Structure 1
Amino acid sequence: MKRWILPILAMMAALVTVLSACSGGGEATPDPSASDFRTIRIGKGTTHESEVIANLYAGVLQKSGYSTEVVDSPDDRLDVVNQMAKGDENSVDLVPDYSGNLLLSLTDGGRKNPKATASPSSDQSDASDPRASKSATPTPSPSAAFNVHGMSSSDISSTLPKVLPDGVTTLNASSAENKDALVVNQITAAKYKLSTINDLAEHCQDLKFGVPNGFEDTSYGNKGLNELYGCAPNNFKHEDDQEKLSNDLDDGSIDVADLYTASAVVKDNNYVVLEDPKANFIAQEVVPVVRSGELPDSAKSAVNDLSAKLGTGDLVFLNRLTTGDKPISSKDAADFWLKENGF
């Protein structure tokens, strides 16, 4: 670890302690039989943020006695889960993802269901912990198509095991969420009196949007914005780097940015996150995706305990540690968070 990192971590420790005090310390009980199990391969996922979470999984499993390896994942989440379903030598056992985006990918934005005729059995999901349920809303049965914008976070998490390929399921989703949002700076918000996407709708064609590549083709891009809000933007700047998007928003190169809600730049720059009352951007909770029946119970419990502890504020904190002018590695950030949270 570089020497200049230590003062930064020392200052950050106070914040982590405050976050930890709200929900108590975590646990990682060693399993005497864990050392006899093979090395657990953990995929980094499809984003920088998911790589940090992958290292959290690795750390908590190591503290439970397991040998782990964090490896690169395919860029496409469907390639990841399909590879897991095959269970070949390149497959990972566990990978973090975001619940909403995974559901959208598996169902072509809710337009189709790969298991529309399936009758899910009671053992399709390894997410048996009652803490995984956040509402009493019945889970919608898979059908040829369904309204993803009408689904709660628990609906999405409960539906995922039903639409994942055979041999792949989920553990407990975390309350930690990191979803897309339309964001403006304070000047733009004041000029156009913006607080919601409804307010934005009448100005959409007059403003320049900074968005990741492919945004227009997503269900929450032009299609969703137009159908739900009558917002039809036609002036785009494409940029996948969140910090560069933030810089463009700050200097006025763009008027509206698609930023992640757990990105530290949102709070650090006092940006206005436009409310989304019609749920164009659906819930995006962190969810562990696993090969069915592969991980021992103590390994699944360790990951579930981590999920129960991890909150959105922790994602913001970890993002701040791993981005900016002096970022630390995903592994260093994960190790620090685990230590400060009692794992």
Structure 2
Amino acid sequence: MRSSLTAACVLALACALSACGAGGSSSQPDADSRTHDVTTSADGQLPSKPGSVVVGSADFPEAEILAYLYAGAMKANGVKTEVHADIGERTAYMAALKDGSIGAVPEYSGALLNYLSPDNEARAPKDVYAPLRSAASRQDLSVTDYATAQDADTITVTKETAEKYHLSSIGDLKPIAGKLKLGAPAPLQTVSYGVPALEKVYGVAFKQFVSLSPSGTITQTALRNGTVDAADIFSTDPAISHYGFVSLEDTQHIFAAQNVVPVFRRDVLTEPMARASDAVSARLDTAALRQLVTEVADGGDPATVASHWLKQNGLDSPVS
């Protein structure tokens, strides 16, 4: 689901190295930076006929929801769509995209850029998107607009801790971090964007690092019962809303942006597909995606949950 530290640990254990990414922890993209880099027809335009596309997904609920969101919006715009969910880890669904088994898949900007261009060190949303477009194009792929929704690492605290120390951003921890314990999977202590970046970029040095198993439930429990005072939690984790956690804004972007972004085979993408996908991305923020994930975690069917959201947002009919 995600490319960052916690995801790497979780998905390695689960054999699902996929990509994902609270609203407060995600930087908002600049609208004028989100222009298409797509294959055009002879007259310089995307094909105007709706066409058809198989939309794939990684093998976790959030990825399924996203596949149904984008496929549903495209279908409402005349595109013949099919969803092939639960393909597996990134290497599996990217191979399916390459061989034509699928024509599109919802991805996460930082994770996809790292996959296509491993040496790129971009972090902020628009800084990630520009090289992502180029890297995708070199492999005969196209990305449409990205959403403000991110599934990214966050440094998260309880509401009580945030209020006690007046915390809203990671930098606010600097004066008091020496009294607090940070909980996260062990690699966060050494990876460049983890504890070293907290200290170097923000001057935040925690009193103690508590190594936690890469499980959302374990981390949430540790934060709630005071075993740790801050924790590395993904921005779409339902626990953030459920328990009123506060994800601190990463103003210096030590964690790479993980904006939701559809990626297409260049020979598949049509103007109606791009228009419909952009409409979804324009309305999907982190809080909304977290709510959709929560609904599925509570027993909802991903396709049904996605369909309901599209209807609520007026995307179950053609967009202009």
TM-score by length of 1: 0.65
Task: Quote the Cα distance in structure 2 between the aligned partners of 1:169 and 1:216.
Answer: 36
Distance 1:225 1:101, change over 3 A: farther
- Alignment partner for residue 167 of structure 1, among 129, 140, 152? 140
Q: CA deviation at 1:190?
A: 5.9
Instruction: Name the structure 1 match of 2:4.
Output: none
1:33-71, Cα deviation, whole Å (9 max, x unpaired): 65xx55x22222364322211111121223233131222
Query: Which SS does the other structure have where 2:309 is aligned?
Result: helix
- Alignment partner for residue 236 of structure 1, among 208, 211, 234? 211
Task: Quote the Cα distance in structure 1 between the aligned partners of 2:202 and 2:255.
Answer: 12
Q: Where do residues 143-222 of structure 1 align in structure 2 (5 Å cutoff)?
A: 146=121, 148-149=122-123, 152-164=124-136, 166-189=139-162, 194-200=167-173, 203=177, 207-211=181-185, 215-216=188-189, 219-222=192-195
Q: Which runs of 5+ in 1 are unaligned?
A: 1-30, 114-145
TM-score by length of 2: 0.70
Do the aligned residues in 1 keep the contact of 2:183 with 2:230 (CA within 8 Å)?
Answer: yes
Q: Where do residues 96-135 of structure 1 align in structure 2 (5 Å cutoff)?
A: 96-108=106-118, 112-113=119-120
Q: Which has the higher contact order (CA 8 A, sep 6+)?
A: 2
Task: Quote the Cα distance in structure 2 between the aligned partners of 1:47 and 1:222.
Answer: 28
Distance 1:82 1:70, change over 3 A: closer
1:5-58, Cα deviation, whole Å (9 max, x unpaired): xxxxxxxxxxxxxxxxxxxxxxxxxx9965xx55x2222236432221111112
Say yes or no: does 1:69 pair with 2:83: yes
Do the aligned residues in 1 keep the contact of 2:180 with 2:229 (CA within 8 Å)?
Answer: no
Distance 1:297 1:259, change over 3 A: same
Task: Quote the Cα distance in structure 1 between the aligned partners of 2:178 and 2:60.
Answer: 28
Query: Which SS does the other structure have where 2:212 is aligned?
Result: strand
1:164-201, Cα deviation, whole Å (9 max, x unpaired): 35122211112223322101114444666654433445
The one-letter amino acid paired with 1:87 is: D
| Identity across the alignment (%) | 28
Instruction: Name the structure 2 match of 1:250.
Output: 224
Instruction: Name the structure 1 match of 2:99.
Output: 87
- Matched residues, number: 264
Q: Which has the larger radius of gyration?
A: 1
Distance 1:206 1:251, change over 3 A: closer
Task: Quote the Cα distance in structure 1 between the aligned partners of 2:221 and 2:286.
Answer: 23
Distance 1:193 1:307, change over 3 A: closer
Task: Quote the Cα distance in structure 1 between the aligned partners of 2:95 and 2:127.
Answer: 23
Do the aligned residues in 1 keep the contact of 2:189 with 2:195 (CA within 8 Å)?
Answer: yes
Do the aligned residues in 2 keep the contact of 1:93 with 1:290 (CA within 8 Å)?
Answer: yes
Q: Where do residues 298-317 of structure 1 align in structure 2 (5 Å cutoff)?
A: 298-317=272-291
Q: RMSD across aligned C-alpha pairs, in angstroms?
A: 3.2
Do the aligned residues in 2 keep the contact of 1:168 with 1:289 (CA within 8 Å)?
Answer: yes
Do the aligned residues in 2 keep the contact of 1:43 with 1:92 (CA within 8 Å)?
Answer: yes
